[in-house]
Amino acid sequence: MSKRIAVAVLVDERGWLLLQERDEHAPVNPDEWSFVGGAVEPGESEAEAAVRELAEETEITGVDLSHVETLHYFCDDCDEDHDVALYLALTDLTDADVVCHEGRRIVFVDPRTIHTLRWGAGMVHGLPRIIGHPAYVARFGRVEPHGFGCVLLVDAHGRLLLQERDEHAPIDPDRWGLPGGHLEPGEYPEAGAYREVEEETGVRLEPGSLERFDTFEIFHPSYGSVDRVHLYVARVDLTDADIDCHEGRQIVFVDPDLARHLDLTMTGVLAVPAFLGSEAYRRLTR
């Protein structure tokens, strides 16, 4: 059974989001930045929980919250499924109106700087829904989205080919992600995926060997845009010795249990668990 969570995201007049920096005592995601919210109590609706959590953690009341979406994902830290009801309100409040009753601080944060913070996985799921919400776009505009072609290759042992990015990476430095990158102007996602794999690993895949898995919406703070990441997957008979690392610190096959718990990129947070839990992964590893 999924744990029910309610989250309240307030947006100030600059387009900044009210976020909480959790402390070392937090039972889940300690020392990470997250949305304001918490568990829905028995007999309580998600809307009621969002209002209560906002008041308990910040003393903010009387805000008209609108339901955005309910997100479902598996929380590795909690080892359980979460159903997260996401609520949004555009306000004229400032940091001076916020009383922090939980964590180190609760302040409005420029979403374009979130990549400089230690963000939690819940942020990855919620940010595209907030920044891409019609109410947010109508007030603050929309940055033209980028397209990406990414690949997850699976070896004979069910391990995933992942890249450890270095400190110079423009997106998610020092995290583990998928081989792939920006699509060139006019380039189809599948063609971009083949090109990126060859450029980053030296592996030239046979045409038709990649299959489309899914397309994810990812908010990339460094760009300020909600981008579309097209993910392709394939089974390969390769080892680490067949991989040339042309980008990042290393590109290696990683055991699936370890892959789930690496410090993943924003794309990796969504793509890796989704793929490992899919029929496509089970089929490719049979």
pLDDT of residue 3: 85
How far from 83 is each of 6, 41, 122, CA to CA, in Å?
A: 8, 13, 11
How distant, in Å, are the alpha carbons of 62, 114, 168 from that of 223?
33, 11, 16
Q: What angle do CA 10, 13, 14 make, to 5 degrees?
A: 100
Q: Which residues have C-beta within 8 Å of that of residue 167, sequence separation ≥ 6?
A: 173, 174
Whether 188 shows a pLDDT value over 90: the answer reads: yes
Q: How far apart are CA 73 and CA 84, in angstroms?
A: 8
pLDDT, position 121: 86
Q: Which tens digits make up the pLDDT trace of 63-115?
A: 999 999 998 877 666 667 778 999 999 999 999 999 999 999 999 999 999 99
**Would you state the pLDDT for residue 129?**
96
Token readout for 262 is 């690496």
pLDDT of residue 31: 93
pLDDT above 70 covers what percent of the chain? 98
Mean pLDDT, residues 10-34 = 93
User: Beta-carbon neighbour count of residue 77 at 10 Å?
Assistant: 15
d(C-alpha 276, C-alpha 152), whole Å? 10
Q: What confidence tens digit (pLDDT) does each residue in 31-45 have?
A: 999 999 999 999 999
Nearest to 92 by CA among 106, 69, 113, 108: 108
Which domains occur in the chain, in start order? 3-140 (3.90.79.10), 147-284 (3.90.79.10)
For the chain, report the end-to-end CA distance as a whole number of angstroms: 29
